[in-house]
Structure 1
Amino acid sequence: MKTRQILLITVTTGFLAGAAYALYQLGKHEGMQNSLSDKNACLQDTGASKKVLYWHDPMVPGQKFDKPGKSPFMDMQLVPVYADNADPASGNSVSINPRIQQNLGIRTASVVVGKLNAVVQAVGSVAYNERDVAVLQARSNGFVEKLYARAPLDLVRKGQPLAELYVPDWIAAQEEFLAAKRMQGQAIVGLLDATRQRMRLVGMTDEQIHTVESSGQLHARITITAPLSGVMTELSVREGMSVSMGTPMFRINGVDTIWVNADIPENMAHKVQVGNRIEARTASLPGTVFHGKVAAILPQVDNNIRTMKARIELANPASPDARLLPGMFATLSFTGTTPKDRLLVPSEAVISTGVRNVVILAQDDGRFLPVEVEVGAESNNQTEILKGLQAGQKIVASGQFLIDSEASLKASITRMEGAAVSISAAASAPATSAAASASNSKLPETVLAGAKK
């Protein structure tokens, strides 16, 4: 008796559980059918009111399809792109409300035609102008009796006495000249010319010969003076020394102009040309700007640091407090212009991804379209555009990444909608088959089978 009661309770419980599960599956199937019907109706309404340009997979937006279907790339349905949501030429544009544009701080600029101001920054070292040099040598054998310039690197002025030499060879030549001058007759003219020539051969200048002729006295000593103002870079004699003809005595470098030997990187050497104007600054003279030009590009490349030498010529102030000295380091700014007009955009408008360069094109209807461009030289916050844009077009100069974020957000929503449609379509298939099998079978048999288990 107790066993029968337990069996009856078990059968009743199984029957009730099977009936509840069947009702749950039937309600789920009808709910999904209604949801799909509403979704299809919504899509039909949308399709009826909008023109579909093409279908695409939001995960692979570059690939376009002319009819709907399942994506060959992802397990999802293709998403339509309508005429008022995409540029007919490209599916990558984004439309942003003007108020949102103002909030994002989007600033545009025009593509202009002009010459690019090529500015090259370099460093260099100051050196003497080797074209402004005077070397003084002994013109005849003699002795250094007095030396006025006593140390190298002394500053000298033009005409300043440097040394006094006693020249014995001059005495005999001058005595012959004075003796011939005291003689009378026609042959004296030729003799005077011969004695003058001999004084020139022993190293006397025409000025010194004229002094002897006008004074009628011997001048056995010569005072050597500085031919220009500058710095005495070499001093090779001392008082009491004997010198022979051709012996170097002094070397004087002028300081009115100075050289700066600048190191120009090899890949930027084409931007520097002879005659380019430059500005030079040095840490030892803060606030002082020196102006000059490129005097020469030396035909040699340093194999170690791959640089070329540019020789810059600068005017050197006379004031000792603002004078450039050899050995100083200087920072140089080379300024030149491109020979031809180029398309120019602000450098901040170019987005470099490492693989390509992109600018955001601002269209008249409030849309923004990314355009791939080919860039050239860049200087003074301007970039040359070789390909991809036309003069007069509007591009985004500030706020490009915010536009990209807005586009990414819209693309993410599109991908989520496409994924939802795919999941709904995938879920409807097993639900439909389960409902069909449930309707074709008898409910009591299902319940009994569950009870038997």
Structure 2
Amino acid sequence: MSKKINTTGALVVGAVMGAALAIGAYSFLGQPTGISSDKASAGGEKKPLHWVAPMDPNYKRDKPGKSPMGMDLIPVYADEGGGPDAGPGTIKISPEVVNNLGVRTVKVQRKGLHMEIKTVGYVQYDEDQLVHIHPRVEGWIEKLYIKAAGDPVKQGQPLYEIYSPALVNAQEELIIAMDRKNQRLIKAAEERLSALQLPRSAIRELKRSKKVKQLITFFAPQSGVIDNLNIRQGFFVKPGTTLMSIGTLDQVWVEAEVFERQASGVVVGDLVSMSLDYLPGKMWQGAVDYVYPTLDPKTRTVKVRLRFNNENDMLKPNMFTQVVIHAKNTENTLLVPTEAVIRTGNVNRIVLALGEGRFKSIKVKLGRLDGQSAEILEGVKEGERVVTSAQYLLDSESSKTSDFKRMNNQSNDDVTVKDVSAWTEAKVNSLMANHRMVNVTHGAIPEWDWPEMTMDFIVSQSVDFSRLKEGMNLQIEIQKVAGGNVEVVNVRLPDAETPAPMDHSQHQMPAEPSSSHVNN
């Protein structure tokens, strides 16, 4: 019997402990995810307006749950106002949700922008040191000492032999002048041979031997590498024919292109780093030598010329290179991380962190960009915090009602009532008294870029709903409120000269809309 009693007592104790654990688990897990623990414990629990899907703000529910993608819905709270940063589009989320979304913020800083322009280029000969070989007379190439382009040559090395009747006649004229001992004719004949590029050594040999040479050898004017070889043995050539070119490899050019928007940051003298695929890990240091004055109309790029020293002739013409132009630092300017900028087709936006879980999407004017930072010309101030992670989720909710203007912390009203409210002519089509809603056809609203249309509005508690009648023509003041909704906050009836009374605090603290509201 005692054994049975002990067993029964153990079961009772176990049941009591299980119930206690269940109650504790429910009190912990049953707490709504969007409400912070400090607010819940304070007794003044603040309820969300609704819950939205993280990836689709148009998916709204009146209680926690899952989105169609299986993600937890995010609570959205009505902005309490009371602060200078409150304004259209300001959203508020709990600290737990901020942490779960991984929201990160950084301060707007004022410092110099270090631009690094990355592009590609091709190695070319230094054309300042490139020599082109042309004949001064007609003739036939009887012997060619150069076999192929790319052959190295030394200064004074023979290049080709040519037979030219014009050179033969010029030599005979010098011999005749010498036989007559006419110094003026001798000087004229020597100058003609020099003008025909006959080497000085050949002229001296001709004066000594007085024998005309049928074949004249021409020599390399400098050391280098043969390029653009256009002749072969036996070719007939004439003045203007480019026989070959000789380029040096002590220094090389790299021709690169930069986009039109980057061209203003490139100036002569900027340092340049270069790497090549065929020598991984090796870097060359050079400088911008010239910025071409014209823009390619097809590629919309500007060509720049870079100069590099070429030790051991490691850089070969026509090699493909990756270059980084280190543009000079700009003057101090407002900078934010590039990932903080939300770029759309029409405007650029960032999400401001206003503190206490409040965020607002605002429009900014972008300047120059580098690899990590973006210059902000208008829209933010130094020291403000911007969101760099999860900003797209916050922007998708804030942008539905935001005026995209930053709110100043000054006493002067840079954002007036007309930014959040507007008057318009309207006709009452139907009334839904149980929901304090009205269906109206209103005129165009230029302030909000709204056309004339028919839609449902919630009527604010400050408006006497009983004065509204179906078919009535009147003027209504509508105001944007949190959650993407618009309310009727004031009316002018046909027989009234003054507006119906309203609570002007509604501009800063809009009434919490009912769960049956209609989205704007």
Alignment partners' CA distance in 1, 2:513 and 2:288: 70
Q: Which amino acid aligns with 1:134?
A: V
Alignment partners' CA distance in 2, 1:421 and 1:168: 107
SS across alignment from 1:168: helix
The answer to whether 1:173 aligns with 2:149 is no
Per the TM alignment, residue 337 of structure 1 is displaced from its structure 2 partner at its CA by: 4.2
Any residues of structure 2 matched to 1:271-420 within 5 Å, and which? 271-273=265-267, 275-290=269-284, 291-293=286-288, 295-297=290-292, 299-303=294-298, 306-315=299-308, 317-319=310-312, 322-326=314-318, 328-337=319-328, 340-351=331-342, 357-361=349-353, 369-370=359-360, 372-376=362-366, 377-397=368-388
SS across alignment from 1:175: helix
Kept in 2, the 8 Å contact 1:107–1:396? The answer is yes
Q: Which amino acid aligns with 2:308?
A: A
Per the TM alignment, residue 168 of structure 1 is displaced from its structure 2 partner at its CA by: 2.5
- Report the equivalent of 2:495: none
Residues 124-172 of structure 1: per-residue CA shift (max 9 Å, x gap): 4444455543222233455544321122332333332212345523541
Count, aligned residues: 331
Q: Which amino acid aligns with 1:288?
A: K
Residues 73-92 of structure 1: per-residue CA shift (max 9 Å, x gap): xx9xxx99767xx5344163
Kept in 1, the 8 Å contact 2:78–2:91? The answer is no
Alignment partners' CA distance in 2, 1:234 and 1:403: 62
Q: For structure 1, list consecutive stretches of 5 or more residues without a partner in the other structure.
A: 1-45, 50-55, 60-74, 413-417, 424-453
Alignment partners' CA distance in 2, 1:246 and 1:191: 28
* TM-score scaled by length of structure 1: 0.56
- Report the equivalent of 1:43: none
Per the TM alignment, residue 336 of structure 1 is displaced from its structure 2 partner at its CA by: 2.0
Kept in 2, the 8 Å contact 1:143–1:165? The answer is yes
* Correspondent of 1:249 among 243, 261, 272: 243
SS across alignment from 2:228: strand
Residues 407-446 of structure 1: per-residue CA shift (max 9 Å, x gap): 9xxx99xxxxx999969xxxxxxxxxxxxxxxxxxxxxxx
* Correspondent of 2:133 among 115, 133, 136: 136
Alignment partners' CA distance in 1, 2:294 and 2:338: 33
Kept in 2, the 8 Å contact 1:141–1:169? The answer is no
Change (3 A) 1:177 1:143: farther
Residues 384-405 of structure 1: per-residue CA shift (max 9 Å, x gap): 1122222234445557689999
* Correspondent of 1:262 among 226, 231, 256: 256
Aligned alpha-carbon RMSD (Å): 4.9
Residues 290-337 of structure 1: per-residue CA shift (max 9 Å, x gap): 43426233624343xx332413333262535x32332x4333333324
- Report the equivalent of 1:111: 108
Change (3 A) 1:371 1:243: closer
- Report the equivalent of 1:120: 117
Kept in 2, the 8 Å contact 1:373–1:385? The answer is no
Q: For structure 2, list consecutive stretches of 5 or more residues without a partner in the other structure.
A: 1-38, 51-61, 63-76, 399-481, 484-509, 516-520
> Quick one: higher RCO (CA 8 Å, sep 6+), 1 or 2?
1
Any residues of structure 2 matched to 1:187-202 within 5 Å, and which? 188-200=182-194
The answer to whether 1:90 aligns with 2:83 is no
The answer to whether 1:152 aligns with 2:142 is no
Kept in 2, the 8 Å contact 1:108–1:362? The answer is no
Q: Which amino acid aligns with 2:179?
A: A
Q: Which amino acid aligns with 1:324?
A: K
Alignment partners' CA distance in 2, 1:173 and 1:113: 80
* TM-score scaled by length of structure 2: 0.50
Any residues of structure 2 matched to 1:37-48 within 5 Å, and which? none
Residues 165-220 of structure 1: per-residue CA shift (max 9 Å, x gap): 4552354134235435xx5xxxx54454344345445543556445555x565473
SS across alignment from 1:357: strand
Residues 75-120 of structure 1: per-residue CA shift (max 9 Å, x gap): 9xxx99767xx534416375977x9989987765432223322333
- Report the equivalent of 1:235: 229
Any residues of structure 2 matched to 1:196-211 within 5 Å, and which? 196-200=190-194, 203-205=197-199, 208-210=202-204
SS across alignment from 1:348: helix
